[in-house]
Amino acid sequence: MVQSKFESNTITCSAAISACRQGGEWEKALQRSSMMARSMVESNTITFNAAISACEKSGEWQKGLQLSSSMAQSAVESVTITFNAAISACEKGGEWKKPLQLFGDMGRRHVQHEA
């Protein structure tokens, strides 16, 4: 068997997290995200959005909000997609107060609201 080694980078890790999201594997998406931090692989907006969307898809709104907070603390730019995924995660989890807060955060961070 041929064994190959590749270096994990932001793009490969983001793709893996996105694949986990598509497969409904939110836990694996979060594991990959944690691995990135431990390996000092930089996360970007796409990485966080994929992980938040994985949580949203699985109804794990608390985890999605934790990622959203981590994103802000890491000074990674939040975009409309970021907030939409977090708000949708809350909606699927029956949480209605947090989306109001997130909507306010969008304005404070000058993120464009989409109709």
3-class secondary structure per residue, the chain? CCCCCCCCCHHHHHHHHHHHHHCCCHHHHHHHHHHHHHCCCCCCHHHHHHHHHHHHHCCCHHHHHHHHHHHHHCCCCCCHHHHHHHHHHHHHCCCCHHHHHHHHHHHHCCCCCCC
In the block, residue with structure tokens 């699985």? 58
- Residue 95 scores a pLDDT above 60: yes
Contact in structure between 47 and 13 (CB atoms under 8 Å): yes
Q: Which pLDDT does position 46 carry in this prediction?
A: 94
Residue 5 has pLDDT above 80, yes or no: no
pLDDT surpassing 70 at residue 113: no
Whether residue 104 has pLDDT greater than 90: no
Average pLDDT of the chain to the nearest whole number: 88
Look-up: residue for tokens 């989890």? 93
Q: Tell me, what amino acid is at 103?
A: F
Given this model, what pLDDT does residue 51 score? 95
- How much is the pLDDT for 19? 96
Q: Which amino acid is it at 93?
A: G
Q: Per-residue pLDDT averaged across 20-32, rounded?
A: 94
* pLDDT at site 105: 85
Whole-model pTM over 0.75: yes
pLDDT given at position 111: 81
